[in-house]
Structure 1
């Protein structure tokens, strides 16, 4: 994707080319890789399917990284709009709809029709046996694809934001946590006959880690299981408030979380699609905080039921847990959260459904030192900051008035400050005193020409 080659005085600019000619071979390799992936999924012969899968991954990875270099590596480092609003793939055009349908279809098959993935699962079985000493299943296949997406499109992000040390470090961090803590370490634990545990996820995002049945199972698993329970409790109720006090929710949402990692890498091209309207904000509040309340209530009811004090609670907690797991854990976080990237932006789940984001957001807004300060006197109302915000915050409105941004939704990705051509925005972890005070603003009637 490239900017217009030369400025024009015409009021109406010509539409951007669908794909610049130099990038077509790399994207053709990606398309061939996806075709080879379909061949692998349809081939019942395990050896041929494995060969097709290896070919598919080589083409997709090589094509995607080659395209990233062609699109971003050859131009001068810096912030560029890349014509995102004028391309069918990133402006809710035909390509975007096709991509959304493909992603939602994959999640539907993953959750409810895993038999259709049998050939692909067999193809990755040697990798599962090597890492986990267990046969592959659909979740190992999904974890493999998920991790590859973060790593490969993380490479794209490294090329695109190579001018910013902050974004280089942030991208490398989410790549590291997904590969190490989200893929390799859980597999290694299974190989050692230990419970599969994801140390980068904890309650309320990984809600079942503090359910009585899970805690009991871990405690009976020996010293490592006891440490896992201790880790989950400490991270959920002690480390999270402390880290959020000092750094805001960005320490987790933009640096550690696998959901955020996918959004910041695979979803980066769609960040401008987030709805900035007040109606969208109202829906955000109506959905995300009740979801946090629901999982908190379910966790409390399960513990009361496990105590034996109210035996009849099992008739409530069972259906409530199934409802939460299906609607929130599957449909919202998977099908909608990722499948709707090309239509609603990359942080649909984080913005509207993630209970961890709600928990961190409340801490950030009311108890944190973090804020984004603005210098209203320098704002030229270009709108780059709002366009770059994936959480639906109309940053420009704050910048124009010189008001600090202290919003529960903000994940502190820092792209708004990066996109600003005037240096109006600054991410700060300063003292809480004066945190809500705006910057000095020079009004026109305060100026004297003579």
Structure 2
């Protein structure tokens, strides 16, 4: 064997134990049962296959997480991430991305109900949830209830995995628990209960500009009318106050992490189901340039669209009435469906879990501007302790090359940082710390360390 063959030989992966194979087999069997649940013409049999699939997926995932991480010492470990085809853009990752992308395409564009209540390719899966939907919402299931169920289950199951994996960190235990709570309570159960009481479906954990329609004139009118004089007014008041007052105040004190890493459902899925793919985020300067160009363009578009809709609704410019509605629909298709859904989640195994948060989310852009220019939040570094291992950059799902800041002893004050704290957790030397200190001296980390070094040398 020549030297070139020796250098390019693949490193061996550790052998998979029998217990792990058994638990992963439960997951595989659960996925397999989704096929008869989708295509079996017998509705009763399809329904039971569906519930059996969810049960096997849940038991297999939680059992595997407990076995995989509970037997090892606490701490952030790479676990051969760059050797496995599932987490290094290998064949398994491409197949997973294709399946996720295909599901979103079918959900958004091929699952609208016809006059007979048929939901196309997802019809059996949708109606399998009719009993749950009737119990929670007092109405039959639809494609969005199916999606909400899958979404919530993914966060709960992979949140359980995260609780095992990061059990050594109180910060991550609490943060993961809060994410699971908001998704289950505020994004799944509460909107369903509102429908059960004949009130508008409303998500209290989503605000403008992430949920731009909540400040659109038509939505405001609908909430005031169907929500009633009490609840409807509160919904409109809540959206306006939290978007325009609450968000800036909370971001001033805590940075954008209070929302992006603790409350938001998009961030919740990224931090749980997307955790195996966080190392895939592109840290290049080119990626950062595209990030800035795209995300702030989206924010400008939604601000202008909201303003145009209100001007059009006022009747001051009659010609706008024929323009604003198509613009709103185009935004919903390009950003709400294609970007946040198909690309934002479907590309997890190929581009990392925060593609939508990095490049397309107007809420992240809004919070990022506040965080960079007005917030007390930053990640402080102690360059003298940095050993340049690169663990911090490897786990940053926002594509920030944290190691470069740590080596220079500079505080990390980036608009894109969601404050997940994973860089601090992964650091073996305690170099990085999340702080909400005074705004004075936010950018002086490197200068202060340099001055201290000069004093020591002198």
Quote the offset at 1:447 in angstroms: 9.8
SS at match of 1:412: coil
| Cα separation, 2, equivalents of 1:11 and 1:166 | 40
Contact kept, 8 Å, 1:18 with 1:88, in 2: the verdict is: no
1:63 aligns with 2:70: no
Counterpart residue number, 2:163: 158
User: What secondary structure, in the 3-state scheme, does the structure 2 residue paired with 1:198 have?
Assistant: coil
2:187 maps to 1:182 = yes
Task: Give the 3-state SS of the residue equivalent to 1:86 in structure 2.
Answer: coil
The partner residue of 2:271 within 261, 264, 280 is 264
2:442 is the counterpart of 1:435: yes
Partner of 1:4: none
Tell me by how many angstroms 1:252 deviates: 0.2
- What TM-score, normalized to structure 2? 0.94
Q: Is 1:369 matched with 2:376?
A: yes
SS of the equivalent of 1:346 reads: coil
Name the CA shift for 1:317/1:355 in 2 (closer, same or farther; >3 Å): same
In 2 relative to 1, CA 136–282 (structure 1 residues): closer, same or farther, beyond 3 Å?
same
1:138 aligns with 2:143: yes
Q: Is the 8 A contact 2:11 2:83 kept in 1?
A: no
CA distance in 1, matches of 2:454, 2:443: 24
**Runs of 4 or more off by more than 6 Å in structure 1?**
10-13, 447-450
Tell me whether 1:54 sits opposite 2:54 in the alignment: no
Choose from 83, 86, 99 the match for 2:96.
99
Residues 343 and 356, structure 2, Cα contact 8 Å, conserved in 1:
yes
1:74 aligns with 2:81: no
Q: Distance in 2 between matches of 1:25 and 1:250?
A: 38
Residues 50-89 of structure 1 show CA distances to partners (whole Å, capped at 9, x for unaligned) of 1001110111000001110121111111121111111100
Return the match for 1:273 from 277, 280, 288: 280
Q: Classify the secondary structure of the residue corresponding to 1:433.
A: coil
Residue 254 of structure 1: aligned partner: 261
The alpha carbon displacement at 1:220 in A equals 1.7
What is aligned with 1:112? 109
C-alpha separation in 2, matches of 1:380 and 1:260: 30
C-alpha displacement of 1:282: 0.3
Q: Distance in 2 between matches of 1:300 and 1:428?
A: 36
CA distances 1:188-222 after superposition (whole Å, capped 9, x unpaired):
00000000000000100011010000001111231
Indicate yes or no: 2:294 matched with 1:287: yes
Greater CA drift, 43-52 or 338-347:
43-52
Q: Does 1:36 align with 2:37?
A: no
- TM-score scaled by length of structure 1: 0.95
Aligned length: 441
1:196 aligns with 2:204: no
1:13 to 1:102, Cα distance in 2 relative to 1, 3 A: closer
Shift of 1:444: 12
Does the CA contact (< 8 Å) of 1:376 and 1:401 recur in 2?
A: yes
Give 5+ residue unaligned stretches, structure 2: 1-6, 112-119
Aligned twin of 2:4:
none
Judging changes above 3 Å, is the alpha-carbon distance between structure 1 residues 206 and 448 closer, same or farther for their aligned structure 2 residues?
closer
Q: How does 1:173-252 map onto structure 2 within 5 Å?
A: 173-221=178-226, 222=228, 223-252=230-259
**Inter-partner Cα distance in structure 2 for 1:307 and 1:67:** 57
* DSSP-derived class of the 2:407 partner: helix
Q: Give the unaligned 5+ runs of structure 1.
A: 1-9
CA displacement at 1:23 relative to structure 2: 1.3
Q: Matches of 1:332 and 1:38 in 2, distance apart?
A: 27
